[in-house]
Structure 1
Amino acid sequence: MAIHLNDRSVVKVSGGDRLTFLDGLVTCATEGLAPGALAYGALLTPQGKVLTDLFVHTRDDHLFLDLPTSALADILRRLNMYKLRAAITFEETDAGVILGEGPDDPRAPGIGGRSIGTGEEAAADAYHAARIEAGVPDAVIDFILGDTFPHDANMDLTGGVDFKKGCFVGQEVVSRMRHRGTARRRTVIVAADAPLPATGAEITAGGRAIGRLGTVVGTGGLAIVRIDRVKDELKAGDVPVRLTVPPGAPFSLASEEANEGAGA
Structure 2
Amino acid sequence: MKQLVKLPFPWQVFIENSGCDTILTQARARLCRIQDAAERNFDHWQSPPLWLKKIIAPVVGLTSFSDVKFLEKKINLHHENFVFEICELIFSAKKAMPLQIKFRNENLIRSKRTFSNIMPGIRVLEYCPPYRIEEELRAMIIAAQRHCHLDGLLLSMIISANFVSVHPFTDGNGRASRFLLKELLREIGLWKQPTLPIEFLISNNRRSYVLALNSLIVGARTDYFIEYFSNLITAAAELYVIEQYLKYCRNTAYEG
Bigger RCO of structures 1 and 2 (CA < 8 A, at least 6 apart): 2
1 or 2, which has the higher helix percentage? 2
Give the TM-score normalised by the residue count of structure 1. Answer: 0.25
Give the TM-score normalised by the residue count of structure 2. Answer: 0.26
1 or 2, which has the higher strand percentage? 1
